[in-house]
């Protein structure tokens, strides 16, 4: 490649690129081209990040980033479709589960449609990510529902604890929502937190129960 040339990368179709060489007129033009390329790269990385999140929610579940107030500019509906969930729950109960789970793992879990302020699942499977907090046997465990909304209010901070899968996605364990679940509710494994993070969550649960 000559001194007055640069590599041009053109997207010919989704995820396919054409690489070519062309002349630039001045250092100023090269700087502008470099800035434009950097912006395109940043946009591409953002798109890939979004695709990773959508892939993680593989059952078509769009987990809301807003746990209260407004979702997509509309107020949350107070109506809960218990009849639909009851039909799904009967099907889940009739199935034989072959999943194996361990403490510290994060799973998509069919939490269902529940009463009042009990944490609900979302989407087709009425699902939400949970952390396996305590395993009793191969069938049941204590699980902590997770949220993608970071809780920052100091007066309620003791109800929450940060969860990290080291993927850049902020997650919070809802300590007051801890519940017993059967493995039949577990859908797909998302990942596993490290020992240090797990110990911090253990301490947070103990503090909450001691209040």
Q: What is the pLDDT of residues 174-208, one digit of tens each?
A: 999 999 999 999 999 999 999 999 999 999 999 99
The larger pLDDT score, comparing residue 157 to residue 3, is at 157
Beta strands in the chain (DSSP E): 5-13, 16-23, 70-71, 74-75, 105-110, 127-135, 140-147, 160-163, 171-174, 179-182, 186-192
Rg for the chain, CA atoms, rounded: 23
Mean pLDDT computed over every residue of the chain = 77
CA distance 109 to 8: 46
Residue 169: burial class (beta carbons within 10 Å; 0-12, 13-18, 19+): middle
**What confidence tier does 84 reach under pLDDT thresholds 50, 70, 90?**
confident
The larger pLDDT score, comparing residue 1 to residue 175, is at 175
Residue-range domains of the chain with CATH: 5-56 (no CATH), 87-210 (2.30.30.110)
SS3 category, 10: strand
SS3 category, 81: coil
Q: What's the DSSP call for residue 154?
A: G
31: tokens are 């700087």
Reported pTM: 0.61
Task: Encode 176-195: b = buried (16+ Cβ within 10 Å), e = exposed.
Answer: bbbbebebbbbbeebbbbee
């Amino acid at each position: 490649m000559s001194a007055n040339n640069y590599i041009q990368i053109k997207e010919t179709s989704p995820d396919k690129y054409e690489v070519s060489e062309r002349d630039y007129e001045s250092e100023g033009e090269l700087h502008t081209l470099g800035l434009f390329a950097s912006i395109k790269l940043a946009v591409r990385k953002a798109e890939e990040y979004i695709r990773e999140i959508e892939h993680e929610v593989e059952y078509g579940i769009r987990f809301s980033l807003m746990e209260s107030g407004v979702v997509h500019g509309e107020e949350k509906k107070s109506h809960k479709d218990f009849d639909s969930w009851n039909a799904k729950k009967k099907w889940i109960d009739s199935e034989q589960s072959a999943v194996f789970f361990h403490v510290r793992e994060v799973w998509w879990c069919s939490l269902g449609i529940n009463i009042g302020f009990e944490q609900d699942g979302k989407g087709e499977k009425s699902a939400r990510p949970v952390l396996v907090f305590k395993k009793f046997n191969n069938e049941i465990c204590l699980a902590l529902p997770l949220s993608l909304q970071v809780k920052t209010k100091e007066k309620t901070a003791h109800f929450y604890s940060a969860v990290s899968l080291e993927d850049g996605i902020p997650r919070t364990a809802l300590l007051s929502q801890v519940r017993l679940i059967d493995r039949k509710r577990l859908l797909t494994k998302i990942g596993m937190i490290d020992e240090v993070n797990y110990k911090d969550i253990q301490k947070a649960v103990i503090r909450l129960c001691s209040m």
